[in-house]
Structure 1
């Protein structure tokens, strides 16, 4: 007999000693290379243009075969029957004898290649939320390690309009609204989205190679790129802070570290530090920073690849060398289902081939994410 849904969403028992997410951090300033040592151009697989893929979906879209769906479903049913919490899913407890080969290739491409992939055709409407969540998190174990996405320890996130005020950017996370999300990156190595239901209109995805954007800025707007490379940017933590930590971070947008250019950015978190500016704790944005934000967004739009997530689609995106965005959306009126995506933030640590990052937790298994004090991991089956 399958356990009730609540058994899967429960927090782990006290004996479960899994490492927690390490949390948000400012960079190691002493180890950052100065602008004068940044590359004149980035080359390699991480640099791509829209034209490389817009007419060639076979290069980045995979449609699950019936055999692959059956393998995923068998692993899902076995895990549900085990009664174990969602947060305890591992590769060993979610065996995928053939699908794992595809996922391991995808992981390598996310880390060192183009940095994105789209998988189509999971029968999420047939499975329902519980089994879809099990399947999704099971697949995620082959890509990385689950990270907490908010102050509540949610390792399974829900991208859904909760009717919060999108203009209150110092308190509200935009993914909990239907507002536009400008080009940004999340606090993880990889972000995944599984579409359970679509909006009436909008809510579509755009991605851009941050390395391609870097090259364009270097050629057209070198002063802008220099501004983006300086650790002069303050990012709000919106109250998701552990004891003794500052309520904001100082960082850069582009880093050159260990021979790689790494990008970390979210304009909403930069705009929302206004209250700290008013308190004299943070300097206001300079005209050069305002111009850099404008040019960066415009360049990302110009270089972006557009995609629409259908029900059952699973999107993976790197946060280290890809920016992503979302259009605003309008939901179906009741009683129809509202737009609902499941989200994973995943760490790909150095010990497993991940990039070295300019942060103190770079070598940790569960680096990044949002960890508040000792909040344990949970995987709720709906938005909270």
Structure 2
């Protein structure tokens, strides 16, 4: 495995080795897995250079009038409602034309480049609770359905902070809750959203890449990797197995849908660990699996697009077609500054099909308690120590 990067964050040397090896690799005669597409022709398959030139398709600037409308919707919600779980497009009332403008963003998320950035909000003028109302209220006009973000299927918001940054945080944690670079991964939801509450002192930018572009390049050049990804893997949770057992995952699945032909679900952390090491009682990652993990990481990085976000930006990313990563960042000694709030959404009207193997998981994330026909949501207004351990996906 000398040429493979069996670590969560591959070094630049491994990147160079990967591409040098690819440059001299003989053309494979292996066919792609049976039933999988040879090529995905879609706006969701893009390179960073291509998508950078399409800013008008993925960035929406809020006008002063629209910000006034958001503030009015916030004030009206606070008067008429006390439970944040009542937030919806009907309780967070925006002018019809503005609501329709936001609603059309869903088409870009599902059928366009796969992500949308809304710019112009100022979190510093709201209280912590008001920021959640604005975040979820605006989002309800984009994608109406909220999902849970934690293992218990209770919490609907996750605070992404460097829990080790204050100097008295946990000795070990998942990479998402530190200041290290995050490798490319999915969140196992339909639409992942970030509210950028506070940027890092330096670094920390979100990086997006098209999984469908990665798939096309693997299908053309590395069908062996597709075969590896289409087999069962075991992802460690790095938690008590009573709380979150290992996940048995087929990272690449085919879907019987014209809208979404394949589904990637992937994380290097689940197979390679980081500060917490993989349980030796689990099957060790094979050389083919590590090679596949490297291929996803390096091809995704080659085609990536780095977002230059500002405080107050809202990002919506299609987690079924895109993969995301993060730059490492610096907040200074003893400071926990960088702060993102993550939520999961979906748009039922878009009708993306799912394999039967995911139906129960999607019901858990997006459905209701079938006995009560309700959802019992917990809204964590602030980050609390230990809350990061409830996160279902950690980088």
| TM-score when normalising by structure 2 | 0.78
The runs of 5 or more residues in structure 1 that have no matched partner are: 1-33
| 1:242/1:84 CA distance change after superposition, 3 Å | farther
Task: Give the corresponding residue for 1:217.
Answer: 218
Select 2:39's aligned residue among 41, 57, 61.
41
- C-alpha displacement of 1:286: 1.0
After the TM superposition, which residues 287-306 of structure 1 pair with which residues of structure 2 at under 5 Å, given as runs? 287-306=287-306
- C-alpha displacement of 1:141: 1.7
Task: Give the corresponding residue for 2:76.
Answer: 78
| 1:376/1:172 CA distance change after superposition, 3 Å | farther
Given the alignment of the two structures, is residue 255 of structure 1 paired with residue 253 of structure 2, yes or no?
A: yes
Task: Give the corresponding residue for 1:268.
Answer: 269
CA distance in 1, matches of 2:47, 2:214: 9
Task: Give the corresponding residue for 2:6.
Answer: none
Q: Secondary structure at the match of 2:52?
A: coil
- Any conservation in 2 of the 1:240–1:370 contact (CA below 8 Å)? no
Task: Give the corresponding residue for 1:309.
Answer: 309
Task: Give the corresponding residue for 1:20.
Answer: none
Query: 1:251-291: CA deviations, max 9, x gaps?
Result: 12221111311111111122249977522xx3211111111
Task: Give the corresponding residue for 1:23.
Answer: none
Aligned pairs, number: 340
Query: 1:303-348: CA deviations, max 9, x gaps?
Result: 101112211111110110000111111114578x711111111133
Query: 1:126-165: CA deviations, max 9, x gaps?
Result: 2232222111011222314222212362202111111189
The runs of 5 or more residues in structure 2 that have no matched partner are: 1-31, 385-395
After the TM superposition, which residues 170-189 of structure 1 pair with which residues of structure 2 at under 5 Å, given as runs? 172-189=173-190
Task: Give the corresponding residue for 2:318.
Answer: 318
Task: Give the corresponding residue for 2:27.
Answer: none
Task: Give the corresponding residue for 1:358.
Answer: 355
Task: Give the corresponding residue for 1:137.
Answer: 136
Task: Give the corresponding residue for 2:148.
Answer: 148
Task: Give the corresponding residue for 1:284.
Answer: 284
| 1:164/1:331 CA distance change after superposition, 3 Å | closer
| 1:377/1:183 CA distance change after superposition, 3 Å | same
- C-alpha displacement of 1:240: 7.4
Query: 1:210-257: CA deviations, max 9, x gaps?
Result: 111111111122211221222x211223447778xx711211222111
Task: Give the corresponding residue for 2:53.
Answer: 55
Task: Give the corresponding residue for 2:208.
Answer: 207
Q: Secondary structure at the match of 1:218?
A: helix
| 1:236/1:87 CA distance change after superposition, 3 Å | farther
- C-alpha displacement of 1:364: 8.7
CA distance in 2, matches of 1:133, 1:194: 9
